Amino acid sequence: MSEDRKRPQPIYLSEDELLNKLPEKIGNVTLDYRFYPGEDLYSDGVIEDEILKIVKDSAKVEYPAIIEQKMSWPILYHLSSLRGNIVDWLPIKSTDRVLEIGSGCGAITDKLSQKAGWVTCVDLSAKRSQINAWRNQHRDNIEILVGNFSDIEPALAVDYDYICMIGAFEYGQSYIHTGTPYEDFLKIIQRHVKEDGRIVIAIENKFGLKYWAGCKEDHSGIYFDGLEGYPDGGSARTFTRRGLERIFESCGVKDYSFYYPYPDYKFPTVIYSDKRLPNQGELIDNIRNFDRDRMVLFNEKYVFDEIIRDKVFDLFSNSYMAVIGKKLEISYVKYSNDRAREYELRTEIWNTSEGKIVRKVPMNEEARLHIKEMERFYLLLSDRYEGSGLSINPCKLSEDGAYAEFPYEQGVTLEELLDRCLGSDDMEEFYRLFDRYLQLTSYGEEKHVADYDLIFANILVDGDKWTVIDYEWTLEKQVPTTEIAFRAVYCYVLEEEKRNKINLDLILNKLNLSQNQVEYFQEKERQFQKQVTGKQKSMGELRAGIGTYTVDPKVLMERHLKKILDQRIQIYYDRGEGFREEDSLYMPDIYVDENYLEAEIPVDGNVRSLRIDPADRSCMVKIHQITLNGTEILPQKKNIETNGKMIKNGCYVFSTQDPNLLIRLPEHLMRGENKLIAKMEVSPVSAELAEDMAGAIKKIF
């Protein structure tokens, strides 16, 4: 995550000095400094001291509030629990031993130690290792080995069930100093995993779409650095999928799977796989520049839709998660944990021998009740919609209450069908589908049960079969269908600018809603979102608070072009027939300062006078000097005539959009080829101000 830094020469301490300086145990976590060189060889600076103080003084439940208060990318990155999403879904058992290489400040260690029986961490930084230990001090299944991996590696066990490198493999050449560092790094790691174990690598894709769209390379902070093959060097290297596969092949790895964390592996909200790739319209959360400003060269959602259409998503996914070893049964994970704790869960698709199933898993004890309610909601909604033609996807709670399980339903979401209608301008079909939605969802409206989240994305359509696949926000009270339908339309339009083409007035007429009712429903939606999130700031709000910017180069180009057009002058020549457009030229690149120009104007011997148009808008002009073949032409009325108002000799105000200065060329100074040099100051002013100034001058004179 940090940029390359110059590495200081390590200062080695004696064993006694190390023991006196560095704690061997923090809480229940042990730290081993046998391989520590005596000084941290990389650091993010004083921010690490701040993070160390936070984890010493604060409980984990306080981290979200601290993140919101500090609005700092490093604090968000190191302390957010959402970092753990990348490994949370892995089927790590309570008896498994895990090796984590590059454990840093412990965001991933936190999640691994919740799942595994034992976690061995390796990290080069003593300060980061202490941060890791303090934040996880209550866990008794963590050891941290501090030092360079190549020094520690011979002392590592050879029977790990999982070896995790989350954002670490790209630094392989820093650990392994050979001609093929990444291949050799992987070969070394293979020695330490069980025969039936797994190696997990999470890394940026060098060809990730966000880099084409204008994000800086994560490690170097340079635009297009990875795309261009890191021409300036640096300690990190990322790879395309094919690049990683070549490394695997050279190491004899045959059994591996690729997963695609979205938006990236740092804060993934969805993890796709080759068995469940994203559908068109799903990838909408693309502006995630927390740590650096970025350009937005194009709308990534639309480009992703085309990439998905052409089945090349695996080439352009922003990140990869490669799992080396036995194939996993899970093919898809969606996280809903940017919420209040009692609603945090993840949705998984499993590919079992009996077919696909869907599971919703609570991510903490508080969320178990939320999961448990789903089976009851299924029964209530099935009763309401029996005979309507709207099916409710069956829910069955596991015996231990660890998850709710659902059949995997075939079909296309109603949201995608509506998008197709908009894309083909088939508004007749769009409104037919919407009318069918109203007909089905209004059935049993008099009953005291309603699915408040009956949005278009939560309904699968397979021919005539319409199935509700998500109903976690079921209410045991009467809710008007108009309110639920309005919310569905409201959420649909908010997500995508192109959806604004639907006739909202027609929709509101169908729902028979007044403006007051619309505003009331909008306020209810805001209250509902507050309930779901627990009043925590969303990741989008955090990004805005951190203060990074998105810049549209197309707008910048237009402004730059306007500046170029503004900062040029047009020269007209009079050869005895007056000034004509066809006998004129533009002179760009003549500004030497913001408002000061110096123009060297060629004049042949047939020219009697010339006209300079200094701008295409109202302005003030101050002539500093005009010379013809080295002789100065004084700014007097006999030499210079303008369509502006003279404030004093050589200084004019123009209230017109076509200001000009006519310069008479003295015959006695003319030659065959001549050079006129004009030095002047041109300051744009508003038309209103120019009119006022011109009027004031007229009154005075």
Query: Strand 355-362 relative to strand 142-147: parallel, antiparallel, unpaired?
Result: unpaired
- CA quadruple 158, 163, 167, 173: dihedral, nearest 10: 30
Other beta carbons within 10 angstroms of residue 434's beta carbon come to: 22
576's CB contacts (< 8 A; 6+ apart) are 606, 608
Other beta carbons within 10 angstroms of residue 567's beta carbon come to: 16
Other beta carbons within 10 angstroms of residue 475's beta carbon come to: 15
Match 């799992």 to its residue by tokens: 323
636's CB contacts (< 8 A; 6+ apart) are 649
Give tens-digit pLDDT for 625-683: 999 999 999 999 899 999 999 998 899 999 999 999 999 999 999 999 999 999 999 99
Q: Is the pLDDT confidence value at 422 over 50? A: yes
| pLDDT, mean of residues 359-371 | 95
Residue in 151, 148, 125 with CA at minimum distance from that of residue 40:
125
Residue in 398, 396, 408, 404 with CA at minimum distance from that of residue 467:
408
Other beta carbons within 10 angstroms of residue 552's beta carbon come to: 13
pLDDT grade for 561, boundaries at 50, 70 and 90: confident
Distance from chain centroid for Cα 537: 16
Q: How far apart are CA 175 and CA 144, in angstroms?
A: 17
Give tens-digit pLDDT for 120-131: 999 999 999 999
Tell me which architecture the domain covering 16-207+227-267+319-328 has in CATH: 3-Layer(aba) Sandwich (3.40)
Task: List beta partners, residue 602.
Answer: 675
% of the chain surpassing 70 pLDDT: 96
Give tens-digit pLDDT for 197-212: 999 999 999 999 999 9
Q: How far apart are CA 278 and CA 302, in angstroms?
A: 13
| pLDDT, mean of residues 495-517 | 88
**Residue spans per domain, the chain:** 16-207+227-267+319-328, 368-535, 559-700
Q: How far apart are CA 429 and CA 423, in angstroms?
A: 12
Three-class secondary structure of residue 668 per DSSP: helix
Query: How would you label 379-396 residue by residue, b for 16+ Cβ within 10 Å and e otherwise?
Result: ebbbebbeeeebbbbebe
Give how far Cα 608 sits from Cα of 37, 577, 581, 601, 691, Å: 82, 10, 16, 14, 32
pLDDT grade for 538, boundaries at 50, 70 and 90: confident
The tokens describing 186, both together, are: 């992987």
Is the CA virtual torsion 378, 379, 383, 387 positive or negative?
Answer: positive
pLDDT grade for 503, boundaries at 50, 70 and 90: confident
Q: Report the greatest alpha carbon distance in the chain.
A: 107
| pLDDT, mean of residues 293-316 | 96
State the chain's mean pLDDT as an integer: 92
Express the helix, strand and coil content of the chain in percent, nearest 5 each: 35, 25, 35
335's CB contacts (< 8 A; 6+ apart) are 82, 85, 88, 268, 269, 270, 346
Give the side-chain half-sphere CA count within 13 A for 216: 18
Q: How far apart are CA 412 and CA 470, in angstroms?
A: 14
Three-class SS of 12-57: CCCHHHHHHHCCCEECCEEEEEEECCCCCCCCCCHHHHHHHHHHHH
Q: What is the pLDDT of residue 698?
A: 58
Three-class secondary structure of residue 105 per DSSP: coil
Give tens-digit pLDDT for 324-334: 999 999 999 99
The tokens describing 537, both together, are: 């700031």
- Contacts by residues 278-281 (CB-CB < 8 Å, ≥ 24 positions apart): 278/304, 278/308, 278/313, 279/308, 279/413, 279/416, 280/305, 280/308, 280/309, 280/416, 280/419, 281/305, 281/415, 281/416, 281/419, 281/496
Query: Strand 160-166 relative to strand 97-101: parallel, antiparallel, unpaired?
Result: parallel
Q: What is the pLDDT of residue 251?
A: 97
Three-class SS of 527-591: HHHHHHHCCCCCHHHHHHHHCCCEECHHHHHHHHHHHHHHCCEEEEEECCCCEEEEEEEEECCCE
Q: What is the pLDDT of residue 86?
A: 98
DSSP 224: T
Q: Is the pLDDT confidence value at 18 over 50? A: no
Give tens-digit pLDDT for 148-166: 999 999 999 999 999 999 9
Give tens-digit pLDDT for 545-559: 888 888 888 888 887
pLDDT grade for 20, boundaries at 50, 70 and 90: low
